[in-house]
Amino acid sequence: MKRDEEIKALLTFIQETHAPDIQYDEKGIQSDFQKNDNKLSFPLKLLSIIGGYLATSLFVGFIVAFQILYQSDIAMMVFGGIFILASIWILRLSNIIFLETVSVCTFLIGCVMLGYGYINAELGVNQVSILFLLIAIASIIISKHYILSFLGLLIIYGSILTLILYNELFTGVLIYTSVLGLMLYFYLTNEAKIIKRFKIFTYIYNPIRTGLILSFVSNLAILCLRGMLDIPVDYVWISSLINISLITIFLLKIYKTLQVTEMKSKIFLSIFSLLILLPTVTFPGISGAILIILLCFFVKYKTGFVLGVLAFLYFVSQFYYDLNLTLLNKSILLFLSGILFLTLYYFINKTLAKHEKI
């Protein structure tokens, strides 16, 4: 009630002081605010996904324990498809939190049943991966829902990764990581253009952003397992080089935003950053995490920033225990990395202080 009065007072003030002839839909504005109130915060959405996963596990266990449906491949596929369609239909009709959670659970159950049915029918991993890829794309486009779009993107990522690993195209992991890094950079630095060009992204931009960050981090983590997988070590530097190039391009973008005009400062910071990052060329996780941190800090995306920091700490710890480098080399590199962050912090604070004085 208080907010409705504040909205009305603000609209009246604007009409009286700035635009007497302006016309507005007060009920429509209040309705939009009400819709925002009904939206879940990210932690609650995450809990909803976890709850859906646990419910799915319980349901699948129930089916196996009591031998319901799972002995019939066709029945599993049919009911799986029905569950997926039902979940999308419910999400398009309702914004109620309880129904959203039920829909997430139903969607996951449908995917598990469909996948189980197709694998038992001996259709092959490649065919099942492509099927889930198409289902995920369709669910994102049709539902336009946060949680389902987020899950859909993760399914797309997992399907492509499964195709790469199952067919033992281990060089493709490096290419996939580089493509994800490029996509993340373009996506986060062109938010306004993307939303303006494609209206569907007004609904799904945020979940796609979170999903891209998680996918990128996951692939960087897989590169850390190159000893377990036959990932060609000689080509790992390609992913690092792309990450470092994106960081350099991004620094040039920051210079323009902060109105840094001195060429000496630009050259010094760029060369200094390259010298610090070049030793990590055989370990793309560190440069990738730094790229995430910089991008999310620039666009003020707190969740992504936290994910980037956690990823950075993880990859640094993995790098520190890498037996291919001596302890002295690792210590020097970590020391120089700390100097880089302190220098950037000092530079940004100094620039902001100048703007405040102006």
Handedness of CA 149, 152, 158, 161 (dihedral sign): negative
Contacts of 230 (CB under 8 A, 6+ apart): 168, 170
117-132 pLDDT per residue, tens = 887 777 788 888 999 9
What is the pLDDT, as a whole number, of residue 212? 95
Contacts of 220 (CB under 8 A, 6+ apart): 177, 284, 285, 288, 289, 311, 315
What is the pLDDT, as a whole number, of residue 304? 92
pTM of the model: 0.78
What is the pLDDT, as a whole number, of residue 16? 62
What is the pLDDT, as a whole number, of residue 163? 93
Contacts of 240 (CB under 8 A, 6+ apart): 280, 281, 282, 283, 284, 287
What is the pLDDT, as a whole number, of residue 5? 61
Which residues in the chain land under pLDDT 50? 1, 37-38
What is the pLDDT, as a whole number, of residue 256? 72
What is the pLDDT, as a whole number, of residue 38? 47
Amino acid at 333: L
What is the pLDDT, as a whole number, of residue 351? 59
Listed by start position, the domains of the chain span 1-38
Are 155 and 132 in contact, with CB atoms under 8 Å apart? yes
Phi, psi (degrees; rounded to nearest 5) at 72:
-110, 110
Compute and round to an integer the Cα radius of gyration of the chain.
Answer: 24
Distances (CA, A) of 131 to 125, 159, 314, 345: 10, 9, 33, 47
